[in-house]
Structure 1
Amino acid sequence: MKASLKGRYANEKNTTAATFSVNAGDIKLQASITDATVVDGSSLNGLTLAVEKPGSFIIDYDDFRFQFMNTVRVAELPLKLTYIHSRGDNRTVFDGALIFDSANKVSGNYTLGTGNCNLKYSYVHDEVTTFEQCYDWGKNAWDFEVSRRVADDVFKATYQTWNSDLALEWSRNSKFNGTFKVTKTK
């Protein structure tokens, strides 16, 4: 059994959250509450209940979200499929990723009823440089991204053709030197 308790104080606003997890065989049961659950009398606000079988499904009571995952083989290549339905934001999403090898992947995403459909190709060169291009049918536009990892730093450039937006980013995630992100958008 795992349990965690988190507290936060920011600008005169205190928040508290508690999470309890229990593994029942290959199923994980989880309950989380926030201070909204007990402040001003008990309520269901801030209460989250979830049942998860890693790699297979997640059922989340908070926003009535169902997520099912599976991997099938297509021409001996793994195709990862995910179906997500969230009643909270009334959305159904289908995701898929076909992995050719450790450097090449094609993924797609479709949100039912919105016309939002993306197809992305990703190539990783020497395990440090990633090139991605994505076509968005909803916007009828391309997005391009290149990123490079240098030790704990990641340098990334993105370009969105639909709004001519160019962004540069430098981020660091280090146990010893800390974490930060610097972004500049044109």
Structure 2
Amino acid sequence: MMKASVKGKYDGDKSTGVGSLAFNAGDLKLRATMTDATLVAGPTLNGLSLAVEKPGFFIVEYNVPKKDVRFQFMNTVRVAEKPLNLTYIHSRGDNRTVVDGSLLIDPANKLSVNHTVGTNNCKLKYTYAHGRVATFEPCYDLARNVWDFAVSRRVYGDDVVKATYQTSSKLLGVEWSRTSRSTGSFKVCASVNLAEEVKTPKLTAETTWNLEM
């Protein structure tokens, strides 16, 4: 089966598009992704990337114009009978390695850690899910010694409203999204910087269409 997706994004006065084509080859999934830069002036190699994925195990992605390779490996181990999901990401171009781990304490509580190897960048996030209705996510940035907060609530079935606040930049955001495995998804975001004298909201909209062939 071959799957295609098209994503469009509107950010102020700028619009962008991303398309991807994926199909299964046994246990592997092959995917090609291109942006509007690939076709507008072309066709060209700008914005083109190729990936090989084994879901739940690894992803190898090659950025064609940058000649850069990105490796991602996933694994799950058990700690005190609790599942610990580990993700290792390495980008060869900028020689950056990120390790991400999430420990599912129980269906309602999860602890996550994100660390960039060789730096002080480390974030700790605690997630509390109140049933299938609301989620609370405080996040602490060790390098900057700041907190970020996110609260989301499910409304009207598949719709989710999410509010975020970044204490370091005093950026307040509100997001409304809907996700469908069959038809795609959309997301509308509004943000405002409370530190600015003139608090002008910034709006972005994003939608994705999924097709199966």
Please report the TM-score for the alignment, with normalisation by the length of structure 2: 0.68
Let me know the Cα RMSD of the aligned residues.
3.4
Aligned residues: 180
Q: Residue 106 of structure 1 aligns with which residue?
A: 111
1:129 pairs with 121, 126, 134, which one? 134
- Shift in CA distance, 184/39, structure 1 to aligned 2, threshold 3 Å: closer
Task: Give how far 1:34 is off.
Answer: 5.9
Identity among equivalent pairs (%): 57
Structure with greater Cα Rg: 1
Partner amino acid, structure 2, of 1:123:
Y
**Structure 1, residues 46-72: CA drift from partner, whole Å, max 9, x if none?**
432211100000001113000000000
Which secondary structure does the structure 2 equivalent of 1:61 belong to? strand
Residues 150 and 37 of structure 1, relative CA distance in 2, 3 Å threshold: closer
Structure 1 pair 125/24, CA: closer, same or farther in 2 (3 Å)? same
Counterpart mapping for 1:100-179 below 5 A: 100-151=105-156, 152-163=158-169, 165=170, 167-173=172-178, 179=186
Aligned to 2:2: 2
User: Structure 1: any 5+ residue segments left out of the alignment?
Assistant: none
Where does 1:6-25 land on structure 2 (aligned, <5 Å)?
19-25=20-26
The one-letter code sitting in structure 2 at the alignment partner of 1:150 is V
Kept in 2: contact 1:121–1:134 (CA 8 A): yes
Higher relative contact order (CA 8 A, sep 6+): 2
Q: 1:5 to 1:77 in 2, by over 3 A?
A: closer
2:188 match: 181
Q: Give the deviation of 1:154 after TM superposition.
A: 3.2
Show structure 2 runs of 5+ residues with no match: 11-15, 195-213
Residues 41 and 142 of structure 1: CA distance in aligned 2, closer, same or farther (over 3 Å): closer
CA distance in 2, matches of 1:36, 1:65: 21
